[in-house]
């Protein structure tokens, strides 16, 4: 912004301002034209600046050196953001860019390491997933649609956290492929219909969905150490807690007939595609003892217990 007023003696010319700030004259002129720094016009029509312009342009130069764009810098200069807030926002944006680059690098390596016969399939798989953030959003949406019974946002968030691993910041090719396969499974309409059907059936029988999810969570927490050590499914307090949670939510008790009926109700959880899903969650997240793997361990323990008693 430029105005013509009588100028005090302490104003600076554009050349002197450039010298004091270490900026080229053309850069000072550009910042003036962009409204980053205000100037005055002398009676001869020359740009003049007050002493505050030196520190203002010094700050602009420092922030530009850190890679901040003019919109962010302008918000700092007008007081909308502090320097700390602007730098934090820039760092967060850079983290996203770095994660995308790491995903792309791992994807390229995954294709490079694939044999010619499977390369086309691998290319299609990875191209569909795009990047970790897009795949994560798609998987989250898949489970939000699959859970037909209304639950609290906190409970839903807890389940999604267990079912959808965070994309690794620096993934290996194997992790990227596992995540891309999870994304492909989320697009399986038959699997989605199976989960929806199971959800609707349980909704008719379960009186306390929130209590059920909490009880299953406790049972999974008990089973995770066994999953981590590779112990095969078996009867024990972990399975008892799992069955009790279902029985209490359905208004029943833990009996052999109840266990046989429960096995039929959790059949979808033992579907080969769900087994693959939880295996991929473990591969993508780098944790073999996920809550999903623990839940599968419990349903297998139930099937074994029912079979042995029969």
**Overall domain count for the chain:** 2
259-270 tens-digit pLDDT: 999 998 888 888
Confidence of residue 304 (pLDDT cuts 50, 70, 90): very high
Strands, sheet with 12-13, edge to edge from the N-terminal-most edge strand: 2-4, 39-41, 47-49, 12-13
Write out pLDDT tens, residues 97-135.
Answer: 999 999 999 999 999 999 999 999 999 999 988 888 888
In a domain, 90, yes or no: no
The pLDDT of residue 278 is above 70: yes
Last residue of a domain, one of 66, 81, 96: 81
Task: Name the band, by pLDDT with cuts 50, 70 and 90, for residue 9.
Answer: low
Q: Does residue 215 fall inside a structural domain? A: yes
pLDDT of residue 150: 62
Same domain flag for 68 and 158: no
Question: Which pTM does this prediction carry?
Answer: 0.72
Question: Are 125 and 76 found together in one domain?
Answer: no
Q: Is residue 37 part of a domain?
A: yes
| Gap between the Cα atoms of 160 and 185, Å rounded | 15
| CATH number of residue 61's parent domain | 1.10.1660.10
Q: Is the pLDDT of residue 272 over 70?
A: yes
- B/e letters for 273-301, b = 16+ CB within 10 Å, e = fewer, are ebbebbbbbbbbbeeebbbbbbbbbbbbb
User: Most confidently modeled of 8-12, 54-58, 159-163, 191-195?
Assistant: 54-58
* Whether residue 164 is found in the same domain as residue 75: no
Whether residue 269 sits in one domain with residue 131: yes
Kindly report the average pLDDT of the chain as a whole number.
87
In contact, 268 and 198? CB cutoff 8 Å = yes
Task: Examine the pLDDT at 59 and tell me if it is beyond 90.
Answer: yes
Judged on CB neighbours under 10 Å (0-12, 13-18, 19+), 308 is exposed
> What pLDDT sits at residue 6?
43
Q: Which residues contact 70 (CB under 8 A, 6 or more apart)?
A: 34, 36
- 135 with 245, same domain: the answer is yes
Residue 97 in domain: no
Q: Is residue 100 part of a domain?
A: no
Section 158-186 average pLDDT: 89
pLDDT of residue 2: 46
Closest CA to 218 of 195, 244, 199, 198: 244
Domain of residue 242, residue span = 116-309
Q: Are residues 175 and 287 in the same domain?
A: yes
* Whether residues 300 and 169 fall in one domain: yes
Q: Which residue has the higher pLDDT, 163 or 10?
A: 163
Q: In angstroms, what is the C-alpha Rg of the chain?
A: 30
Last residue of a domain, one of 60, 81, 102: 81
Q: Are residues 60 and 141 in the same domain?
A: no
Question: Is 110 part of a structural domain of the chain?
Answer: no
What pLDDT digit, counting tens, does each position of 72-84 carry? 999 999 899 999 9
Domain final position from 31, 61, 81:
81
63 & 125 share domain: no
In a domain, residue 104? The reply is no
Q: Is the pLDDT of residue 299 over 60?
A: yes
Let me know whether 56 and 143 are in one domain.
no
Closest of 35, 41, 27 to residue 78, by C-alpha:
35
158 and 248 assigned to the same domain: yes
Task: Kindly state whether residues 178 and 250 are assigned to the same domain.
Answer: yes
Specify if 87 maps to a domain.
no
Is residue 10 pLDDT above 70, yes or no? Answer: yes
């Amino acid at each position: 912004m430029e105005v013509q007023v009588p100028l005090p003696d302490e104003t600076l010319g554009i050349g002197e301002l450039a010298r004091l700030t270490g900026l080229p004259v053309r850069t000072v002129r550009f910042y003036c034209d962009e409204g980053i720094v205000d100037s005055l016009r002398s009676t001869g029509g020359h740009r003049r600046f007050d002493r505050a312009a030196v520190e203002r342009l010094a700050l602009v130069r420092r922030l530009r050196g850190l890679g901040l764009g003019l919109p962010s810098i302008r918000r700092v200069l007008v007081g909308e953001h502090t320097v700390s807030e602007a730098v934090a926002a820039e760092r967060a944006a850079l983290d996203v860019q770095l994660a995308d680059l790491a995903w792309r690098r791992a994807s390229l390596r995954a294709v490079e390491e694939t044999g010619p016969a499977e390369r086309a399939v691998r290319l299609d798989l990875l191209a569909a997933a795009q990047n970790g953030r897009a795949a994560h959003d798609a998987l989250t949406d898949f489970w939000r649609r699959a859970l037909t019974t209304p639950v609290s946002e906190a409970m839903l968030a807890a389940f999604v956290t267990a079912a959808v691993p965070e994309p690794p910041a620096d993934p290996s090719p194997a992790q990227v492929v596992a995540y891309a396969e999870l994304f492909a499974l989320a697009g399986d309409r038959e699997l989605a219909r199976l989960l929806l059907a199971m959800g609707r059936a349980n909704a008719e029988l379960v009186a306390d969905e929130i209590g059920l999810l909490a009880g299953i969570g406790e049972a999974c927490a008990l089973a995770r150490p066994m999953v981590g050590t590779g112990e095969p499914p078996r009867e024990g307090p972990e399975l008892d807690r799992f069955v009790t949670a279902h029985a209490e939510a359905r208004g029943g008790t833990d009996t052999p007939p109840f266990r046989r009926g429960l096995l039929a109700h959790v059949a979808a959880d033992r579907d080969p595609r769900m087994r693959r899903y939880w295996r991929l969650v473990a591969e993508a997240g780098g944790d073999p003892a996920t809550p999903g793997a623990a839940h599968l361990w419990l349903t297998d323990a139930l099937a074994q217990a029912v079979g042995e008693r029969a």
